[in-house]
Amino acid sequence: MITDEPFEKHIDISEADLTAVDVLSKATTLSKQVIKQAMKKGAVWLTRGKHTQRLRRASRTLNLNDTLHLYYNNEVLAAEPAEAILIADEGDYSVWYKPCGLLSQGSKWGDHCTIARWASQHLQPERPAFIVHRLDRAATGLILVAHSKKATAALTNLFQQRKINKQYQAIVQGQFPASPEILTLNGLVEDRPAVSHIRLIEYSTQRDCSLVNVKIETGRKHQIRRHLSEAGYPILGDRLYGTEKAPSTDLQLTAVSLSFTCPITSKLRSYKLDNNLRPQL
């Protein structure tokens, strides 16, 4: 049986050698097949001692004093992930094109619509995947995925030290200044310093829209969207910070390039998105 109402179930295990499927099928009205699918999509968690992690393997047996968690939301589990495109597989990490709608990070309700899960299931050979930075769900473009704890720590450190050059392109409303100098926007984002450097690439008189290049020094949540909106040039398709009540297009913000010195090989790495995947005036 499938229910449309989201619910949570937390069960302390008092009998050894049971499987999560057996326990949850007795504790809910869900069929074993539905529970197995929920496990595959990241909706079941296991607490053992001080550690809690997703439980995907249906045949894994439980121990006494384990705690089983089910976060069931049929709408979340029924969602189909948008298809990511592999740009480069470097072994310890990979670079992907994240389409609009694909998440950077999952929630307790599931993770099957995330770039990390997509990468772990579609790379050959298969390997674990860890996120080291994020793109908004509505944004598109290049994103790094690490495949070991060592690579995750090393790449995360590069981001924290601002040693990764990230550039974006966006289509904004209005005529952005055609100044020979780059416009720097440094308004606070959530009371924290944030710096974005913007320059005009092209202006369309017919659409009264501008294609701009954005380089950021910091990576605050919605930084580019907020900075451009506050400056009077909201991004097309921005349902949070734009002026359109019902945008007729997806968010026109794309991460178009990443460059850094690989922390594992010490070689310079540079990745650029093909023009056909960039915003087009």
User: In this model, does residue 246 exceed pLDDT 80?
Assistant: no
Query: Which of 66, 111, 136, 238 is labelled catalytic?
Result: 136
Q: What is the pLDDT of residue 245?
A: 73
pLDDT, tens only, 67-93? 999 999 999 999 999 999 999 999 999
Mean per-residue pLDDT for 137-166?
95
Q: What is the pLDDT of residue 166?
A: 92
Rounded Cα distance between 104 and 132, Å, is 9
Q: What is the pLDDT of residue 39?
A: 97
**Confidence category of residue 4, pLDDT binned at 50, 70, 90:** confident
Q: What is the pLDDT of residue 243?
A: 83
| CB of 214 closer than 8 Å to CB of 222 | no
User: In this model, does residue 128 exceed pLDDT 80?
Assistant: yes
Neighbour count for residue 192 (Cβ, 10 Å): 10
Rounded Cα distance between 63 and 221, Å, is 40
Q: What is the pLDDT of residue 248?
A: 76
pLDDT, tens only, 155-194? 999 999 999 999 999 999 999 998 778 889 888 888 898 8
Q: What is the pLDDT of residue 219?
A: 82
pLDDT, tens only, 24-83? 999 999 999 999 999 999 999 999 999 999 999 988 999 999 999 999 999 999 999 999
Known active-site residue 238: no
DSSP code at position 206: T
**Confidence category of residue 3, pLDDT binned at 50, 70, 90:** low
The pair of structure tokens assigned to 182 is: 């780059």
Q: What percent of the chain has pLDDT over 90?
A: 84
Rounded Cα distance between 118 and 143, Å, is 12
* Ordered structural domains, the chain, with CATH: 7-78 (3.10.290), 85-163+263-277 (3.30.2350.10), 165-256 (3.30.2350.10)
Neighbour count for residue 101 (Cβ, 10 Å): 14
Mean per-residue pLDDT for 102-123?
96
Q: How far is CA 179 from CA 96, 166, 225, in A?
A: 33, 22, 21
Amino acid occupying residue 277: L
State the Cα angle at 203 between 201 and 204, rounded to 5°.
Answer: 140
Among candidate residues 93, 96, 90, 106, the one with its CA nearest the CA of residue 148: 93
User: In this model, does residue 11 exceed pLDDT 80?
Assistant: yes
The CA-based dihedral angle spanning residues 150, 135, 98, 89, taken in that order and rounded to the nearest 10 degrees: -20
**Confidence category of residue 218, pLDDT binned at 50, 70, 90:** confident
Residues forming a β-bridge with 255: 141, 168
Q: What is the pLDDT of residue 70?
A: 97
Mean per-residue pLDDT for 197-204?
96
